[in-house]
Amino acid sequence: MENCNMEQCTEWVRSVGEYLAHEGVDMAIRVAIAAALFAVGVLLIRVLSAALEKVIAKSKRLDGIISRFIVSVVSKFAWAMLIIMVLKQVGIDVTPLVAGLGVTGFIVGFACQESLANLAAGVMIALNHPFKVGDFIQAGGQEGVVKELNMMATIIATGDNKQIVLPNKVVWGSPIVNFSANPTRRVDMVFGIAYGSSIAKAKEIVAATLAEMPEVLKDPQPTIEVKSLDDSAVTLTVRPWVAKENYWPVYFAANQKIKEAFDRGGIEIPFPQLDVHQR
C-alpha cells in the first residue's frame, strides 16, 4: 500500500515536472503579459476618465449629474473590457462568461424596466435643463422647491416643509411649470366693488396703493381693469409685476393694503346678495 502511494506521488511529481518543463515558461510569459496589460489598462482608464470629464465640462448642455453618469458608465465598461482581455491572455475561455453576462443583462433589464425608464427620463432632464436645484416647480401633480436632482429621482420640499421624492419618469412625463425660470412674475389678484361705487376712483386707489410699494415694478406698469360684471359686484383684475422672489410678499401685502385703502376711500366691497321682488 505504501509502495503504491509512493509510486502515485512519484508519478504525480513527474507529471507536474513535465508540465512545467513544457508549459511553465509559456505560462509565466502569459502571466507577465497579462500583468503588464492590466497595469497599462488601469492607467489608460484613469487617463480616459479624466479626459472625458474635461471634454464634458466644456459642454454647456451637460450638467454635473449627467457628466458623472457618463464618466461612470464609460469607466465601468472599460474595466469590463480590461478584465476580459486579461482573463483571455492567461488562457481562460471567456466565451461562456460573455454569453452569461448577455443573458443576465437581458434578465436584469427586463426586471428593471421602471428603473431604466427613470434613468432615461433623468438623462432627458439633465440634457434639457427644465429646472435646477433651488427652483420652485410644479410637476407630477406636486409643487415645491427642488432640493436634489439625480439620475433616478427629483426631490422637492413643499411649502409646509414636506419632502417628496418624484421618480424622474413621472416628472418628465408630465407638464413641468418652473416658477423660477424668469426674473420677474406677474401677481394676479381680483377685487369686487359694489355697483354703487365709482370704478374710476377704485382704480385710482389701487394704482396709488401699488405705487407706494417699492417691490412693485414700474415697468411693465400694473394692469388695473374691469374683469367682469358679476351678480353682486363689479370685479376688477389687478396685475402688478414683481421680481420672482417678491411674489408672495407682494401678493399678501397688496391684498391687505388695497382693502384698507378701499375702506378709507369709501369703496364698498359687497357681500354676495340677491334681490327678491314680490309681486
CATH number of the domain to which 226 belongs:
3.30.70.100
Residue 95 placed within a domain: yes
Q: In this model, does residue 23 exceed pLDDT 70?
A: no
Range of the domain at 29: 2-111
Q: What are phi and psi of 172, to 5 degrees?
A: -70, -25
- Do 157 and 241 have their domain in common? no
- Do 150 and 207 have their domain in common? no
Residue 271 placed within a domain: no
The CATH number covering residue 160 comes to 2.30.30.60
- Quote the pTM value: 0.60
- Do 95 and 156 have their domain in common? no
Residue 118 placed within a domain: no
- Do 169 and 215 have their domain in common? no
% of the chain exceeding 90 in pLDDT: 44
Distance CA(206)–CA(223), nearest Å, equals 10
Q: What are phi and psi of 188, to 5 degrees?
A: -105, 120
Among 141, 159, 178, give the residue marking a domain's end: 178
Which residues on adjacent β-strands are paired with residue 148? 155
- Do 136 and 197 have their domain in common? no
Question: What are the tens digits of pLDDT across the range 64-114?
Answer: 566 666 677 777 777 778 787 777 777 776 666 666 555 555 545 544 566
Residue 98 placed within a domain: yes
- Do 49 and 88 have their domain in common? yes
pLDDT band at 47 (very low <50, low <70, confident <90, very high): confident
Sequence-separated (6 or more) residues with CB below 8 Å from residue 61: 127
**Nearest alpha-carbon partner for 179 in 126, 222, 143:** 143
pLDDT band at 220 (very low <50, low <70, confident <90, very high): very high
**Nearest alpha-carbon partner for 31 in 90, 93, 72:** 90
Residue 26 placed within a domain: yes
Length of the chain: 279
- Do 91 and 143 have their domain in common? no
Between 180 and 2, name the one with better pLDDT. 180
- Whether 213 and 250 have beta carbons less than 8 Å apart is answered as yes
Among 77, 111, 145, give the residue marking a domain's end: 111
The CATH number covering residue 100 comes to 1.10.287
Residue 123 placed within a domain: no
How many domains, the chain? 3
- Do 7 and 103 have their domain in common? yes
* pLDDT value of residue 21: 59
Distance CA(190)–CA(226), nearest Å, equals 9
Residue 14 placed within a domain: yes
Residue 273 placed within a domain: no
Least confident of 33-37, 100-104, 148-152, 210-214: 100-104
Strand 234-239 versus strand 241-243 pairing type:
unpaired
- Do 98 and 10 have their domain in common? yes
**Nearest alpha-carbon partner for 237 in 188, 186, 187:** 188
Q: In this model, does residue 275 exceed pLDDT 70?
A: no
Least confident of 24-33, 36-45, 196-205, 206-215: 24-33
Whole-angstrom CA distances from 142 to 122, 137, 147, 155, 174 are 18, 8, 14, 11, 11
Nearest 5 degrees, angle CA 79-CA 80-CA 83? 85
Q: What is the mean pLDDT of the chain?
A: 82
Question: What are the tens digits of pLDDT across the range 134-157?
Answer: 999 999 899 999 998 888 889 999
pLDDT band at 1 (very low <50, low <70, confident <90, very high): very low
Whole-angstrom CA distances from 262 to 79, 131, 233 are 73, 40, 14
- Whether 242 and 182 have beta carbons less than 8 Å apart is answered as no
* pLDDT value of residue 13: 66
